[in-house]
Structure 1
Amino acid sequence: MREFKTDIEIARAAQKKPIQEIGAKLGIPAEQLVPYGHDKAKVSAEFIRSLGDRPDGKLILVTAINPTPAGEGKTTTTVGLVDGLNRIGKNAMVCIREPSLGPCFGVKGGAAGGGYAQVVPMEDINLHFTGDFHAITSAHNLLSALIDNHIHWGNEQGIDSRRVSWRRVLDMNDRALRDIVCSLGGPANGYPRESGFDITVASEVMAILCLAADLADLERRLGDIIIGYRRDKSPVFARDIKADGAMTVLLKDAMQPNLVQTLENNPAFVHGGPFANIAHGCNSVIATKTALKLADYVVTEAGFGADLGAEKFFDIKCRKAGLNPAAAVIVATVRALKMNGGVSKEDLGVENVEALTRGCANLGRHIANVRRFGVPVVVAINHFTSDTDAEVAAVKDYAAGEGVDAIICRHWADGGAGIEELARRVADLAASGQAAFKPLYPDTMPLMEKIEAVASKIYHAAEVTADKAVRDQLAQWEAQGYGHLPVCMAKTQYSFSTDPTLRGAPEGHVVHVREVRLSAGAGFVVAITGEIMTMPGLPRSPAAERISLNEQGYIEGLF
């Protein structure tokens, strides 16, 4: 039995291989890697272009039940599964998102896995990494500066300063910046107006980088960004104020996928990081498509529960990138299922099969939802030491009743060796030919009907309500040629409903769409429901209070 170590202690003790060796496992020549130190590198655009004629590997999605404070371990399972697949002789790699500094210093922690199923270097990945988020922040705020500068110097495009929709961003939770008044101090500082900040992972530039196929597509999409409106309500695009070229220059290196490794020295792309409750929650298309050319099995994740992350992975990322997932894994824990069954966090260590069985309704809903997309499913029970045999058996019995396997996974404690059974089942599912992927709705469906389709079929809502102004706005966008776009639902991650306290599998609730936003560059329409904030705040006791350097100069408190 191993002694207990923290995630950062485990990561620090890792026997990492030089990044050129990791690249060689994928057939990437050393000269096609742009190294950032010894243990991370970017893959050159030239090499990526050379892969076009290669066949694609099998794409595996890891998703989860609705998150609870009890924890589910989706990223940990994603990383562990790749180690497990490699242990059973498969050529597999992982594609996950880059962590945001906001949650890292807030309450959620980092996003590099945990225990003995991590990607490393854990500290770098969770902090500045290769600078991608800084580049995205800079490109976004360059556009903000160019907008105000354009208005200041005569406003050739006739931008109505009251209708500038482009805000600023910062990769930090800072509630004081949600709503601001800028350009105060007289004529030399511009025209005063109301504005605000969002967190970088909510930026449309982040979504664009994660959906762009290459630099040319990136520049086109950046030019398509709507930055505001004229007095006649006609849209003004980023290209109208000549911002797209310089923004692309700032993002040139950020577009290249980041190569790192797992604790077991298997290859990993960690690239891009849009939030899943307010954006589409998937790593970059370019990383995923490159990985599919380099490995036989590519395991990726989508943020939060399947009602948000998986739905957007299927309806936005796969639809737009032409991806065809071969199988999906739904991660659940006994603790989280008990919480969905009404058990308080303080009592989760006590066996309660009855509450667990009630909570399994949440798992059942996610199983049905993923199957709706034509993708075969297996359940991963992420093991905790407090789980009892009776509780594990209850989850397996419930899943069997839904026609799927539920497999106990001990990757957190044992790495790839603890998840081999799941790896074999996933490989079998992916090779079975059962997958017949199809999006939830067609491109031709009107925007409001797309919103209603997600709400009724995925959330099991009885009704979608929206003010006339919202419906009129959707109709106007359709008239302008944006009706073919998918919808990106901004909703709480904690429930199928818009009420974060409503756990389990609620039915018959009402989804109210209070606002819609057009992300013309990213290529989707955002429907905002409930109390979703695009700039989070820090909790009463943020993780930042416990992060520091020790006497040896090592980081402590990062998790």
Structure 2
Amino acid sequence: MPSDGEIAQAAELWPIARVAREMCDVPEEALLPHGRHIAKLDRAWLATIEDAPLGKLVLVTGISPTPAGEGKTTTVVGLVDGLRRIGVKAAAALREPSMGPVFGMKGGAAGGGYAQVVPMTEINLHFTGDFAAIAAANNLLAALLDNYLHHGNALDIDPRTITWRRVLDMNDRALRDVVIGLGGTTNGVPREDAWDIVVASELMAIFCLATSLTDLKERIGRIVVAHTRGGAPVTAADLEAQEALTIVLSQALQPNLVQTLEHSPAFVHGGPFANIAHGCSSVLGTRTALRLNDVVVTEAGFGSDLGAEKFFDLKCRLSGLRPSAAVVVATVRALKHHGGVAVGSVGSEGEDVDAVRRGGANLTRHLQNLRDVFGVPAVVAINRFPTDTDAEVQAVREIADLEGCLAVASTHAADGGAGAVELADAVQDLLDKDEVDFSFCYPDEGGVADKAATVARRVYRADGVTFGAKAQKQLDRITADGFGHLPVCFAKTQYSFTTDPARVGAPEGHVVDVREVRLSAGAGFVVLVAGAVMTMPGLPKVPASSRMSIDAEGRISGLS
């Protein structure tokens, strides 16, 4: 089978105006083209469809990830193409890739095989410049804050309390802890600082939750960047920064439209990580897709304990969107990993039905959470590889059947939409049934600690949550400032229900230790950093960049 890059380069793409017109009834005058195959949707035109009814929203999530990957984005693309093949007007709503993982360990995030969004290279790299705009706006606020300290500090901000960090869309461990302002009084006020990757920033979360320019500006104004020496919170509005940041982001906030290899529409916009942020594409992109299509398939990052929980408890809670069904992606090799067979080890590709069944405990946990915690019906998508045996696939079907779910083998990576028709039929069957009895994991009422304990108990099956001394002090301050009622966003390892990435399967009875609490007042939630997770990743020993090359004509290879 050709590589992802070879498949993408050989694809015959439609002009984006044709995709818009024929696939989702969008006129050419509504497009702001970025070349021939990418466009933003004009804000003025979007206002004309604000009263259009919304289609049905399908969430693609997965089991706890493994080093081999499970293929959620690929499944979103394959499912949308499959739905189109059975006559459903469907579209994808996806996140934009971050260049940190693209050049690091994970690689690109445009799907794979014959289930990709294209143009793949452009999407994986600079795309429409949205991430650059978010980084610029974020760092403008940091510069304005440091400039305020330099020029008199009229609010009497305590530099030791500054929480606003600079960001970069790249993995760079050397920037995790730095000292700035050195070199004399003309270079600002010396202080300790730190950098995050763009996708972990509050501004990225705000960008993806904002419903309009006005909402974006109001959220930016609520960002808490520091405290005064008297203990009062200092916001971006106090620094008179919200207008300038909104100006920087105004063009980026318009959703992006691209296509799949089979020309289905894909709204790719925003890109927060799910292990250290809320992990969902933009509300604006999702709503736009829903107004233009009967079914929209979206993705939340990593396993359902992170991505789906945050999709439901944060994106749906804060936006009013509601899911109609879920798809849980699993692979045979991933279930073997959860069953004790290390990915890539000797014999890991041979048939091992017992390992699949042992690892099935992880799939079972995710299906139970979707049903019992959130009330969302699900189908299991078995992302099938050529090495999977019929007996192993049948074992996955039996695991799902015990939870009242249908499991469907899908070969969309090898066969495109044709390989996902059975999955599309299964999803459509769910959508044709009664309305979903959806509920959040916890109510709006209650404090941060209570909400954290509820997520830990109901979703992670933990015995409880502990707050270290530093975290407790941060939580006390957040509560004193009037934010103790906000929803919670756990930042933890994606590989386990626990905070230990080595504890695969479906562990119970553990304790979630929160070591840091961060307020995201503009986004509207509180981030709980648990375990050893980092908000500025590092590069692996052999980064993906080492496999890439570009020829004299500008053709890129090794990017997938």
Instruction: Please give the TM-score of this superposition, normalised by the length of structure 1.
Output: 0.98
How far is the alpha carbon of 1:547 from its aligned partner?
Answer: 1.2
Q: Are 1:14 and 2:11 matched, yes or no?
A: yes
Q: Are 1:417 and 2:418 matched, yes or no?
A: yes
Q: Are 1:353 and 2:353 matched, yes or no?
A: yes
Q: Quick one: which amino acid aligns to residue 126 of structure 1?
A: N
How far is the alpha carbon of 1:233 from its aligned partner?
Answer: 1.7
How far is the alpha carbon of 1:417 from its aligned partner?
Answer: 0.3
Q: How does 1:293-304 map to 2 (within 5 A)?
A: 293-304=291-302
**Which residue does the alignment assign to 1:367?**
367
Q: Quick one: which amino acid aligns to residue 212 of structure 2?
A: D
How far is the alpha carbon of 1:548 from its aligned partner?
Answer: 1.5
Contact in 2 for aligned 1:282/1:313 (Cα 8 Å): yes
Q: Are 1:470 and 2:468 matched, yes or no?
A: no
Which of 247, 250, 255 is equivalent to 2:248? 250
Q: How does 1:320-469 map to 2 (within 5 A)?
A: 320-345=318-343, 346=345, 347-371=347-371, 372-469=373-470
How big is each residue's C-alpha offset from its partner over 1:425-484, in whole Å with a ceiling of 9 and x where there is no partner? 111101212411111111112110100011111000112111355345434433433233
Q: How does 1:135-150 map to 2 (within 5 A)?
A: 135-150=133-148
Which of 33, 36, 44 is equivalent to 1:35? 33
How big is each residue's C-alpha offset from its partner over 1:81-104, in whole Å with a ceiling of 9 and x where there is no partner? 000000000000000000000000
Counterpart secondary structure, 1:239: coil
Contact in 2 for aligned 1:444/1:483 (Cα 8 Å): no
Contact in 1 for aligned 2:470/2:515 (Cα 8 Å): no
Q: How does 1:168-317 map to 2 (within 5 A)?
A: 168-317=166-315
Contact in 2 for aligned 1:281/1:312 (Cα 8 Å): yes
C-alpha distance in 2, partners of 1:192/1:143? 17
Q: Quick one: which amino acid aligns to residue 362 of structure 1?
A: N
C-alpha distance in 1, partners of 2:281/2:520? 18
Which of 10, 20, 24 is equivalent to 1:23? 20
C-alpha distance in 2, partners of 1:61/1:54? 21
How far is the alpha carbon of 1:191 from its aligned partner?
Answer: 1.1
**Which residue does the alignment assign to 1:129?**
127
How big is each residue's C-alpha offset from its partner over 1:135-185, in whole Å with a ceiling of 9 and x where there is no partner? 000000000100010111111121111111111100000011111100000
Contact in 2 for aligned 1:171/1:201 (Cα 8 Å): yes
**Which residue does the alignment assign to 2:96?**
98
Counterpart secondary structure, 2:528: strand
Instruction: Please give the TM-score of this superposition, normalised by the length of structure 2.
Output: 0.98
Q: Quick one: which amino acid aligns to residue 232 of structure 1?
A: G
Counterpart secondary structure, 2:446: coil
How far is the alpha carbon of 1:410 from its aligned partner?
Answer: 0.5
Counterpart secondary structure, 2:417: helix
Contact in 1 for aligned 2:447/2:486 (Cα 8 Å): no
C-alpha distance in 2, partners of 1:382/1:250? 40
Where in structure 1 do 4 or more consecutive aligned residues deviate above 2 Å? 467-481, 550-553
Q: How does 1:514-525 map to 2 (within 5 A)?
A: 514-525=515-526
**Which residue does the alignment assign to 2:50?**
52
How far is the alpha carbon of 1:553 from its aligned partner?
Answer: 2.4
C-alpha distance in 1, partners of 2:65/2:35? 35
Q: Are 1:165 and 2:163 matched, yes or no?
A: yes
Counterpart secondary structure, 1:162: helix
Contact in 2 for aligned 1:376/1:434 (Cα 8 Å): no
Provide the aligned length of Structure 1 versus Structure 2. 556
Contact in 1 for aligned 2:205/2:523 (Cα 8 Å): yes
Counterpart secondary structure, 1:358: helix
Q: Are 1:556 and 2:553 matched, yes or no?
A: no
How big is each residue's C-alpha offset from its partner over 1:408-433, in whole Å with a ceiling of 9 and x where there is no partner? 00000000000101101111101212
Which of 1, 5, 11 is equivalent to 2:2? 5
How far is the alpha carbon of 1:551 from its aligned partner?
Answer: 4.0
C-alpha distance in 2, partners of 1:193/1:482? 27
Which of 67, 72, 76 is equivalent to 1:74? 72
How far is the alpha carbon of 1:76 from its aligned partner?
Answer: 0.2
C-alpha distance in 1, partners of 2:554/2:279? 34
Contact in 2 for aligned 1:70/1:339 (Cα 8 Å): no
The percentage of aligned residue pairs carrying the same residue is: 60
How big is each residue's C-alpha offset from its partner over 1:195-214, in whole Å with a ceiling of 9 and x where there is no partner? 01110111111000000000
Q: Quick one: which amino acid aligns to residue 431 of structure 1?
A: D
Counterpart secondary structure, 1:335: helix
Contact in 2 for aligned 1:448/1:471 (Cα 8 Å): no
Q: Quick one: which amino acid aligns to residue 543 of structure 1?
A: A
**Which residue does the alignment assign to 2:87?**
89
Query: Which range moved further: 259-268 or 46-55?
Result: 46-55
How far is the alpha carbon of 1:221 from its aligned partner?
Answer: 0.5
How far is the alpha carbon of 1:323 from its aligned partner?
Answer: 0.8
C-alpha distance in 2, partners of 1:446/1:164? 24
Counterpart secondary structure, 1:484: coil
Contact in 2 for aligned 1:375/1:434 (Cα 8 Å): no
Q: Quick one: which amino acid aligns to residue 23 of structure 1?
A: A
Query: Unmatched 5+ residue regions in structure 1?
Result: none
